Amino acid sequence: MIQFDEKNSIFKIDTAGSSYVMGLADNEYLGHVYYGEKLSDTRLSYLLGMDVNPFTPKQKIGEKVSFMDCFPLEYPTQGLGDFRESCLAVRRSNGQEQAELIYKGYKIYKGKPTLAGLPATWGEDSETLEIILTDAVAGLKVTLFYSVFEGMDALAKSVTIENIGEETVYLTKVLSSSLDIRPGSYELLSLHGSWARERHMNRREIGYGSMGIETCRGISGHQENPFLAVVSEGTTQSYGEVYAMNFVYSSNFTAKVQKNQFDHIRAVMGIHPEHFTWKLSPGEVFTAPEVVLVYSGEGLGKMTRTYHEVYRNHLIRSEWKDKMRPVLINNWEATYFNFNTEKLLDIARTAKEHGIEMLVMDDGWFGYRESDNSSLGDWIVNEEKLQGGLKYLVDEVHRIGLKFGIWFEPEMISPDSDLYRAHPDWALHCEGRVPGQARNQLVLDLTRPEVADYIYDSIATILRSADIEYVKWDMNRPLSDIGSSYLPSDQQGEIMHRQMLAVYHMQERMLKEFPKLLLENCSGGGARFDPGMLYFSPQFWCSDDTDAIERLIIQEGTQLVYPLSTIGAHVSDCPNHTTGRVTPFSTRGDVALSGTFGYELDITKISESDRKEIPGQIEKFKKYNPLIVSGDYYRIASYQDNHDYDCYQIVSKDKKKSIVTFVQVHAKPNAKKRYIRLCGLQPDLYYQIGEEIYMGDTLMKAGLPIPVVFGDYKSMIFELNQLNK
């Protein structure tokens, strides 16, 4: 519910359990009043903090800067005296940078507008507030959008900037959200990492000054995920306050928190201002990406379940989002570049015998690509490797009884390629400099329409040529050498954002032409695992590290924000290709179950004992996947924290079914039986686990007994079924 109390000049946005409140000072300046547990009253203007500095600009013009220095502006700008983190910076034709936003009006309506060219949440059961602010001097109209969804404690925020003046201006900073939090002891929670160890949870105390996360790599990145939470000191899964932000965008971002001299905390999030300047001519509109805010007064667990629900129901659009995905086998770790038609068919035949449903052909099928140093951009089938051509291979795989998927890396170009030799200016580069390579490749300049069209047509031609049901869209390097021979000099600062818009447009175009396609995004593993990509694909390759024990930490951090159904997880061979670790085949299967599930190995070469486990793993996946896709996720124990074991639980919405996954990472001498307290059950009803029967409140208060097992890396899955009353 959204309402405006005109008498008290208060906007109040209510979700199922929270309230987001804004108010007006002097009927001109929009301030942030409150975000937290749901409130029933709207007489809240006193929370604007005018007791700290009661002199508004109309009351005492001589203290305007002092007012700005402490007033909790809802959308802060540069140059007026608010010296905290800002959201908007504008450079006018005279070179001066300043913006002053004055309240002009509002609209409240059912539904939610789309964002031009950008991914965003959606939903017919939504309600939206638009607040209009203007700067008469700079000639700007700023519209703040706030949308809520029925039954969910989430708030989607976005911004548009329109030039309503007569002169061209340059936007040098446009962030999407600002949130002022009152004094208290808080910590910053973020997800950091690197290649093969993405999204490790990290907490640190918020002290005076600024701190945060960011990327300027042109991808949301292995290093920092576009998620930030301000949590009260001592917050656990079930206790504490959480103010969380997640950016629905897949390129450069910044997310900062700043504690000022009054102990107030401001958190901001949006496009990183580095490499960003946007030329805004009269009549033009710039649309900033969306931020999804979640407040929880019941710890991290409630925040997690809220994000999962919002993304499952109001972000992912694919017809696959609620469906069981086919169990696939990918040939990358099986063969790398060394394969041909017969090798792939051998894998397909053996895979079919063991219940696998799809073969995915990874890198190396096009151009003259025998390693990663050539042929990107030359999307032509190498028929010396695929004898008989692609359609022959696909048809044969279908005759065996499997679906077929294929790998692309559309955004890249190899210097050793026919495309680059013909069009060297089609790569991002700075004039007079040799562009830097990563993984032996350059980045295509997708700001050029002819480049995006050429690459799309190349990919679509392949997809039209055979019955291909799945695409893995990869992107293996960060962006550098940010220069375009297409854009004029005063628009070079638009390259990074335009590049991302072009990728979004290409994926949208592909999904419209091939609506039944199952699309999985990938970026050197999980370097672009963000809400923006989930708008286009219902799943993302979580990490190139498929080691089951490393995946416990990677998947825990990912599951903190993103639904389990979006996490690409496979069983791979041992010794693991990334870590060299050897783990039981059964443990590898149990860990991969909390994702899309598949195999990343040469099924024709693994041991017979491992191969015999595959049908049982697939049977388990099919049994539990409907619960994994739709159930509520509870984190019980964290291997990252305790260094010994990992445990998580999924509970059906009606609380009738649950599964608990327990992984003993390290065995200990003289070990005793553990009792793990479960969550989310019906306290007054009984649950059967194997031959035993327990009451719900017993399992949640006293715990589930975990038997002592001998050895490291051992896993167990417990199935709970509620008994009839």
Collapsed DSSP state (helix, strand, coil) of residue 504: helix
In the numeric block, which tokens belong to residue 118?
A: 């950008």
CA distance 182 to 178: 13
CA distance 383 to 380: 9
CA distance 570 to 589: 8
Residue 658 CA: distances (Å) to CA of 53, 454, 539? 54, 49, 23
Is 544 in the active site?
yes
What radius of gyration do the chain's Cα atoms show?
27
Residue 73 CA: distances (Å) to CA of 55, 178, 514? 15, 8, 45
Residue 545 CA: distances (Å) to CA of 358, 431, 557, 722? 21, 37, 14, 37
Inter-axis angle of helices 390-400 and 341-353, nearest 10? 20
Q: Which helix (H) or strand (E) holds 313?
A: helix 299-314
CA distance 470 to 510: 12
- Given the residues 14, 362, 474, 547, the one annotated as active site: 474
Whether 360 contacts 329, CB under 8 Å = yes
φ and ψ of 513, to 5 deg: -75, -35
Category of 84 on φ-ψ map: left (φ > 0), alpha (ψ -120 to 50) or beta: beta
Strands 539-541, 518-521: pairing kind:
parallel
CA distance 471 to 642: 38
CA distance 251 to 500: 6
Handedness of CA 408, 413, 418, 424 (dihedral sign): positive
CA distance 119 to 196: 27
Whether 47 contacts 36, CB under 8 Å = no
Whether 400 contacts 349, CB under 8 Å = yes
Tallying the residues shown for the chain, one arrives at 725
Pick from 163, 86, 145: which is nearest to 290 by CA?
145
Is 322 in the active site?
no
- Given the residues 135, 153, 544, 632, the one annotated as active site: 544
The reply to whether omega before 575 is within 30° of 0 (cis) is yes
CA distance 269 to 247: 7
Pick from 193, 285, 102: which is nearest to 550 by CA?
193
φ and ψ of 490, to 5 deg: -85, 10
Query: DSSP per residue over 366-391, as a string?
Result: BTT-SSTTS-TT---B-TTTSTT-HH
CA distance 242 to 498: 33
Pick from 43, 114, 28: which is nearest to 74 by CA?
28
Whether 75 contacts 88, CB under 8 Å = yes
The residues annotated as belonging to the active site are 474, 544
